[in-house]
Amino acid sequence: MDFAFSEEQDMLRAAAKDWLADRYPADRVAALADGDGRDPGVWRELTELGWLDPELDLLELAVLAEEAGYALLPAPWFSSVALAAPVLGGPPAVPPTLAWIDDAAGSLREAAGTVAVRCDHAVDGCRLTGVKRAVPDAAYAEAAVVVAQDHDRVALYRVELAAHPETVHPLTVVDGTRRIGELRLDGTPAERLDVDPGPALAAVRRRALALLACEAAGVAQRALDLAVEHARSRTQFDRPIGSYQGVSHRLADAYTALALARSLAYRAAWCVATDDPAAEEAVSSAAVAAARASVGGCESAIQALGGIGFTWDHPLHRYYKRAQWIAAFDGSPSRHRADLAALILG
């Protein structure tokens, strides 16, 4: 059995790496993160580059996700291809997002059973009322798939945010490269989607966790690269600091955690792509390893860099923030460990 990437996947990775390095050097990412976060032309470029092509399977999207994490891609790509596109039935023409968190649901699993946002049926169609919280890329999305309660059951609705900008309220965030917002719906018109919300949200959860695990591998790799470069060039007592065990052992541990996380991330992507029976266990394992590798890897890199690693001038803190965002997605690492234990122990 061949576990290597195909030639086409290697070419996709190389093209993505080159484009990201050219478009998003560290200083540009910092400028976008510290500003309003908007990069107006990026959606068009992502479309032209094929990042939104329906022909891409989940393994190819996983390759792109890892490179996106390495470069801290500040664009609504994840919210589109991982969260909204599976529900909408394919890559959208405009950037969409998914809104599921509210006062009655804090996770995708809970949202499949009950939510606080409700749908009221009017003469002119469906109208949604309530507040959706922590909506990824809410300020940049032009459409949103909203999970809402329709009498005694949950349903999915499409809301045209571009036509109702008053519903979108950006929030102050720690990670300026991946922003969230609230949708404050007050009789907002919506179109009901012909999708069974239970299986659809379960599939979105598996897909999102697999892609975020790959993104976390990219984040951890960049943090490790920054730390290794510093350990090789920074000297103390006429020796590179990487020659001291206090530094080298810490970075070796970060490398080991990254290797495990990357392997589990791509296994999860393969399991989800092939609808393997082990997909739930695979994504939970990948989520746990991804949090440890990315958050722990960034913390090790900060320690290795010393004083410069704690400053806002160095890009490392942005990777640490992205790692924290990934680790907290749809539950804490302890929640994913509990899911994993339940799956293994029955």
Tens digits of per-residue pLDDT, 227-262?
999 999 998 999 999 999 999 999 999 999 999 999
User: Residue 2 pLDDT > 70, yes or no?
Assistant: no
The answer to whether 134 touches 148, Cβ cutoff 8 Å, is no
Q: Give ∠ CA 324-78-180 in degrees, rounded to 5.
A: 60
Helix (H, G, I), strand (E, B) or coil at 143: strand
Q: Phi-psi region for residue 114, left (φ > 0), alpha (ψ -120 to 50) or beta?
A: beta
The answer to whether 316 touches 301, Cβ cutoff 8 Å, is yes
Domain ranges in the chain are: 7-88, 96-195, 199-345
Q: What is the pTM of this model?
A: 0.96
d(CA 119, CA 235): 63
Mean of the pLDDT values across residues 200-225?
98
Residues 154-196 have pLDDT tens digits of: 999 999 999 999 999 999 888 999 999 999 999 999 999 999 9
Q: Phi and psi for 278 in degrees, rounded to 5? A: -90, 10
HEC profile of 57-71: CHHHHHHHHHHHHHH
CATH 1.10.630.10 is the classification of domain 96-195: no
Confidence of residue 90 (pLDDT cuts 50, 70, 90): confident
> What is the architecture, at CATH level 2, of domain 199-345?
Up-down Bundle (1.20)
**Helix, strand, coil in percent for the chain, rounding step 5:** 55, 15, 25
pLDDT at 148: 98
d(CA 61, CA 51): 8
Number of CB atoms found within 10 A of residue 93's CB = 11
H/E segment holding residue 269? helix 245-273
